[in-house]
Amino acid sequence: MKFLGSLSTRHVVYLVGLLLLALVLASCAGIDLGDLVKVKTPNAIQQTTGLRSTLSLNEAEAEYQHWFNQTQATGAQWKGNIQRAGEVRGLLGQLTLSALDTVGPTVAGLPVLGPALPALTGIVGLFIGSGRLRKEKEASFNKGLETGRDMAGEGATS
């Protein structure tokens, strides 16, 4: 930087002009300037795809398009799987309700099983959904802790 300080303004203008002329001539000669410009790759993308931390602009554009298409295809496949599972759950729910409607009047005539049927189905529902509910609550709690830490960290730096 001291070298530029000792030059006059006219010399600096000549150097900048010479640099721009060299870039224009290189571009006319077929050198792709996209190969000279570097792009940083986000850490999450580096870890999932194995890409280097910096890529040329041309490489980055091609890799991004490949990653984006792959992510969309994977997301669409997962969404389809979730929808199919939801349809199966709905079908099972309908079968269960129709079975209860069929069995309900028969069981209602029995003195002990009639009133106990709703209680038994509720207890079974608790055991079936308790693991999923626990995981959802735990994930929500952890997300709240993380958000609180982020907010506390931002408040301390502000």
Q: What is the pLDDT along the chain (158 residues), one digit of tens a residue?
A: 455 557 788 888 989 999 888 888 877 877 777 778 899 999 988 888 889 999 999 899 999 999 999 999 999 999 999 999 999 988 887 777 766 666 555 555 555 555 666 666 666 666 666 667 777 778 888 888 888 888 877 655 54
The pTM score is: 0.45
Q: Go through 109-121 and write b for each residue having 16 or more CB atoms within 10 A of its CB, e for each that does not.
A: eeeeeeeebeeee
Query: Residue 143 belongs to what H/E stretch?
Result: helix 113-157
- Name the residue among 87, 93, 79 with its Cα closest to residue 129: 93
